[in-house]
Structure 1
Amino acid sequence: MKNIGPPVYSQIALDIAVRIARGELKENTKISGRSKMASEYNVSPETIRRSFQLLQDMKIIEVLQSSGAIIKSRDNALKYIERNNIGDDFRNLKRELNTLLKERSNMDKRINEIVGQIIDYSERYRNIKPLYTLEFEIPENSSILKKSITETKFWQNTGATIVAIKRSDDIILSPGPHFVFEPHDIIVVTGDMGIAQRIQDLIKNCDQ
């Protein structure tokens, strides 16, 4: 058989207790009469009367003979909530909220750190030209054949730094100044965008 849950008056009583526990409704203050509360919860005044009676039995409110009720005890409201098995839910939600707030604080802090680093890098490298890595094959009758890196004044003439030389199946990393160029060597260089034309001019054929 399907569980239809607690009666409406009990649900309303619990909701009022929650509002008292949250401080929305203060101790020693008056809450609205049955007609107004009935309109607020869209139920009959009789349902509100039963809700008030339940809360009065729990010593949470005191029903007035004239109209409405006086809130007597927030502590009793909390006890009533716990008895209805939602106290743990409140505590869990509060813990989860605190965890999320801490995570958000840490995330905001990290975002600020990253933004600061980006700004720092932008300022530091604003005037530095980007570097490119390019490859050039030395033709068979290049003007730099049988010459060392020092003899060709490679860096002085091109502004490029030789990262490696590919020779057949070998890769020579960071060749020294006495490295001698051979036909079909592939020079791997890094530098600004202007190095391409300068290197082409340096390694061009002797008969060009």
Structure 2
Amino acid sequence: MRSDIVQKIWMDYLVFANNRAAGSRNKVQEFKLFTDLVNRCLVTVPARYPIPFSSADYWSNYEFHNRVIFFYLSCVPKTQHSKTLERFCSAMPANSRLALRLLQHEWEESNVQILKLQAKMFTYNIPTCLATWKIAIAAEIALKGQREVHRLYQRALQKLPLCASLWKDQLLFEASEGGKTDNLRKLVSKCQEIGVSLNELLNLNSNKTESKNL
């Protein structure tokens, strides 16, 4: 059976099970059964798919799993969202969209310390996800963790050395912190060595300078 048909059947069944739980006299027991059903769905529907013409390589697609999880979230009280998201993130450590959803929730709840810890963990679990690096860095900046910001930039650029956005962010951070001119020049030189262009940023600054002189 085609995967899209299987997914539709599962979603229809989950909606039915949730409606049944909501209308039941024994809501606690029915919701437990609904939760078990959600877990069974997430386990049985594959998230890994073979890459065409390769028997050894796979790619992951969590689109359906996220749809199920976000539907489940809509069925539980908001006070349980954090624990629920943490549980699913633990089961799917490479699910970047789910990780970002958890970070968004912690930010909305103003849990900056928890946000910092979660974001840092995700930089290890999903090291190629630029958004998690930027959130981890932003959290440290908000908490005045300047030393950790430097370490995060160093780690991030080891994983994503060709990411111009990260280089530009670090350059702006160093400049805002009163970084020495020599250090800033070294950063620019290092970018040029590995082939990352900062022309857009430099042009932006030069345009601002020109506009001030007019």
Calculate the TM-score normalised by the size of structure 2.
0.23
Bigger proportion of residues as helix? 2
Structure ranking higher on relative contact order (CA contacts 8 Å, 6+ apart): 1
Which has the greater radius of gyration? Answer: 1
Calculate the TM-score normalised by the size of structure 1.
0.24
Bigger proportion of residues as strand? 1
